Structure 1
Amino acid sequence: MKQALVVRGGWDGHAPVAATDMFIPHLETSGFAVRVVDTPEVYAQDAMTDVDLVVQCYTMGEASGAAVAGLRNAVAAGTGLVGWHGGIADSFRNSSDYLQLVGGQFATHPSKHPDECHGDQSDNYLPYTVDMLPAAADHPVTAGIASFELTTEQYWVLTDDLNDVLATTTHPAPPWHPWHRTITCPAVWTRQWGEGRICVVTPGHSLDVLEHPSVRTMIERSMVWASR
């Protein structure tokens, strides 16, 4: 039986417990024995050599140098790493080694007009499109999924060319923001790190977004695809 490690915690706004609980049954029916922990320091343990898949939902927070090194080494040796939204793309901001591993870091998201803002998370809930690329047509994570619309946080991420991008999203340039032209950045990508596979799905701010059929399908598929 394959071994899956679910690492959850950090900022509570992304409901890490409820969000990961949604996917544990899928892991179990896919043949994984699931272990759940609430600290990234598990990555510093020798037992990582037995882990076939890491599902990480840990927004912000900190991880020690030893933990980040343990995760990097585990992935390089074949452990898969998957996650969504801030649970993987906005984790451990103090670690450049972690950012290099996952290949993308949350920078911002566009907001409504200032007159429409109320000072809560909904200020950033805007309609946007996840545009599936030709590379996604036959990929095991995204095959058969067409471009789709969401109304939620739209992640602007800083990324690099090692990513294999499966979907993008284009950020608007309204006059109340300082950027002066639209910006297209990855919304879903995979990444090869040594012998290991990584998959990042940037939608997933709230449980209703994770329930969207296309979002949930990509996340569930990514777990099987990335596993050792």
Structure 2
Amino acid sequence: MKVLIVRGGWDGHRPVEATEMFRPFLAANGFEIEVSESTTVYGQASVMAEVDLIVQCVTMSQIAPEEVAGLRAAVAAGTGFAGWHGGIADSFRASSDYLQLVGGQFATHPSKEPGACGGDETDNFLRHRVELTALGREHPITAGLDDFELTTEQYWVLTDDLNDVLATTTHPVQPWHPWHRPIVSPAVWTRQWGRGRIVVTTPGHSLDVLGNPNVRTVIERGMLWASRTASAS
């Protein structure tokens, strides 16, 4: 089995350190690991044809049309695609073809009450709950887990109903925000694209969140579930 780790984009999500956290797990599960610091690899059809799983951690950034076409073709042919937080749900904002493939786009992470904000990233760290759906309580990625709480960015995500949602998080109504009813966003979802499987986990802003046992379990199980060998069985 072969996994391609593609990383880069905004440094704030620590793409190198974050992906390195999962290298031992992938190696222990029999994956030959290749790392690319650029999305140009997506445009190399001969390389992509040999990949069973892509783990992407590229926040924002840009992608060339031939690269996103190569990524879409590989997933449709059976290559798994997995990632977390902005590395997959806030990548390549200008590419509608990428957004259609992944099935969700980061919109915002609401902040604390303005008077409690100090001007750093913790302004957007809110205590919130990740709740499993009925499907999530049975799905191999999340079965056996319980709802859990995190203090970190709480992603508000725009999505469509091709996604199978395994967990959600609810943005409450607060007097300093302009929305008027609670908003439920998917926190973990899967998506079938051709013969390929996609898994998105929205928590993962920092290394400590990736180290949370619940978050790490979801990501690790998701990578195995998405891989070509799993989807073909």
Same fold (TM over 0.5): yes
Name the structure 2 match of 1:80.
80
Residue matched to 1:149:
149
Q: CA deviation at 1:192?
A: 0.1
1:110 and 1:172 in contact (8 A); partners too: no
* Alpha-carbon separation, structure 2, partners of 1:121 and 1:145: 29
Shift of 1:40: 1.0
Mapped to 1, the partners of 2:135 and 2:183 lie a distance apart of 20
Task: Tell me by how many angstroms 1:187 deviates.
Answer: 0.5
Match of 1:200 in 2: 200
Q: In structure 2, what is the equivalent of residue 19 of structure 1?
A: 18
Q: What is the deviation of 1:126?
A: 0.6
Query: What is the count of residue pairs matched by the alignment?
Result: 227
| 2:231 paired residue number | none
Post-superposition Cα deviations, 1:9-50, rounded to whole Å, max 9, x if no partner, equal 100110000000000110000110000111111100011011
Gaps of 5+ in 1: none
Amino acid at match of 2:135: A
- Please tell me whether residue 4 in structure 1 is matched to residue 40 in structure 2: no
Q: Compute the displacement of 1:183 (Å).
A: 0.2
- The separation in 2 between residues aligned to 1:92 and 1:180, in whole angstroms, is 30
Q: Distance in 1 between matches of 2:29 and 2:145?
A: 21
Residue in 1 that maps onto 2:94 = 94
Q: Which residue is equivalent to 1:30?
A: 29
Instruction: Give how far 1:142 is off.
Output: 0.5
Q: Residue 96 of structure 2 aligns to which amino acid in structure 1? A: S
Following superposition of structure 1 onto structure 2, how do residues 15-164 of structure 1 map, counting pairs within 5 Å?
A: 15-46=14-45, 47-164=47-164
- Give the TM-score normalised by structure 1: 0.99
Larger mean Cα displacement after TM superposition, 172-181 or 77-86: 172-181
Q: Deviations over 1:67-106 (max 9, x none)?
A: 0000000000000000000000000001000000000000
Spell out structure 1 runs of 4+ moving beyond 4 A: none
1:5 maps to amino acid: L
Task: Measure, in 1, the Cα distance between the counterparts of 2:178 and 2:16.
Answer: 35
User: How far apart are 1:180 and its partner, in Å?
Assistant: 1.5
Q: 2:141 aligns to what SS in structure 1?
A: coil
Alpha-carbon separation, structure 2, partners of 1:129 and 1:116: 21
Report SS of the residue matched to 1:135: coil
Once the two structures are overlaid, the 10-residue window that deviates more, 74-83 or 134-143, is 134-143
CA distance in 2, matches of 1:202, 1:10: 17
CA RMSD of aligned residues (A): 0.6
Task: Give the secondary-structure state (helix, strand or coil) at the position aligned to 2:135.
Answer: helix
Q: In structure 2, what is the equivalent of residue 219 of structure 1?
A: 219
